[in-house]
Amino acid sequence: MIDHPINLYLVPTPIGNLKDITLRALEILKSADVILAEDTRTSGILLKHLEISRPLQSYHIFNEHKAVQKLVDRMKKGEVFALISDAGTPAISDPGFLLVREVLAAGLDVQCLPGPTAFVPALINSGLPNDRFIFEGFLPHKKGRKTRIESLLEETRTMIFYESTHRLMKTLEQFSESFGPDRQACVSRELTKIHEENVRGTLSELVEYYQTHPTKGEIVLVLAGKNPKA
Ligand code: SAM
């Protein structure tokens, strides 16, 4: 039995390989009063596979503002919640931040379990300096995109971006224009899955590669900083 001083757990779930669930994640998911899930159908399949049967409630970007206060009130009455997202660590480019902030503001406590997240293996696999790095998540699609890229031109730390495959070429081309074609980068695709692929090279090499290798799946783009020192 777990003695719960914590009101909200953030529980990372696999980003592909189901064996990446941790023993602690299983323990918390089995003992939470309610599991909050970004997509109850997606998480329902995972939980069934893990043989976990707990009440599921949806919590996503479209209902979080409305849901958060009610959830905090329930936590105050003693209910323990576990938050999961579709994949990886909740609150990393996923819903979670708002709930964490409000739970803490109410004097309750939060614990995020360590576990799967896409940006860490992508950073390490890139072979680029990882002693200092910045996580940029998704770039804005239209408004603010250019300004964001321009704000990174002098960045010396390794930069990490989440990207969708259909925008990859556009991003690589924009990066090549802005950061220069010789800047080193790495595209990590389908991490932990059967078709995992890490393609390393200069931005111009990557543009050339993806022109002839149209690609599917999930992607993390890692970009060297300006004049990185090993
Ligand atoms: N919470 C997740 C995490 O901890 O990494 C991120 C969720 S975000 C909505 C989804 C993005 O994460 C994808 O578009 C992709 O950029 C990245 N991602 C997730 N799984 C991945 C995988 N297996 N391989 C490469 N990138 C992945």
Residue-wise pLDDT for 44-70, tens only, equals: 999 999 999 999 999 999 999 999 999
What's this model's pTM, rounded to 2 decimal places? 0.95
Q: From the CA of 76, how far away is ligand 1's center (Å)?
A: 32
> Position of tokens 């078709």?
195
Mean confidence (pLDDT) of the chain: 95
Tokens of 27: 């323990």
For CATH 3.30.950.10, list the domain ranges present in the chain.
119-223
CB under 8 Å to 83, separation ≥6 — which residues?
8, 9, 10, 11, 35, 36, 59, 90, 95, 96, 99
169 phi, psi to nearest 5 deg: -60, -45
Q: Which residues line ligand 1 (CB under 6 A)?
A: 15-16, 85, 87-89, 92-94, 117-119, 162-164, 188-193, 218-220
Q: Which CATH number fits domain 119-223: 3.90.25.10, 2.130.10.10, 3.30.950.10, 3.90.320.10?
A: 3.30.950.10
Residue ranges, comma separated, of all CATH 3.40.1010.10 domains in the chain are: 8-112
In the structure, what pLDDT confidence band is assigned to residue 215 with cuts at 50, 70 and 90?
A: confident
- The pLDDT value recorded for residue 228 is 64
Model confidence pLDDT, tens digit, residues 9-28: 999 999 999 999 999 999 99
Query: Which of these, 134, 132, 135, 85, lies nearest to 112 by C-alpha position?
Result: 85
Please name every residue paired with 57 in a beta bridge, in sequence order, or none if there are none.
Answer: 36
Residue with tokens 């406590």: 109
Position 30 confidence tier, pLDDT thresholds 50, 70, 90? very high
- Best residue among 13, 60, 93 to mutate for probing ligand 1, ranked by most atoms within 8 Å of CB: 93
pLDDT tens digits, 128-161: 999 999 999 999 999 999 999 999 999 999 999 9
Q: Provide the 10 A C-beta neighbour count for residue 1.
A: 4
Class of domain 8-112 (CATH, top level)? alpha beta
β-pairing, 34-37 with 81-84? Answer: parallel
Interatomic CA distance for residues 163 and 141, integer angstroms: 10
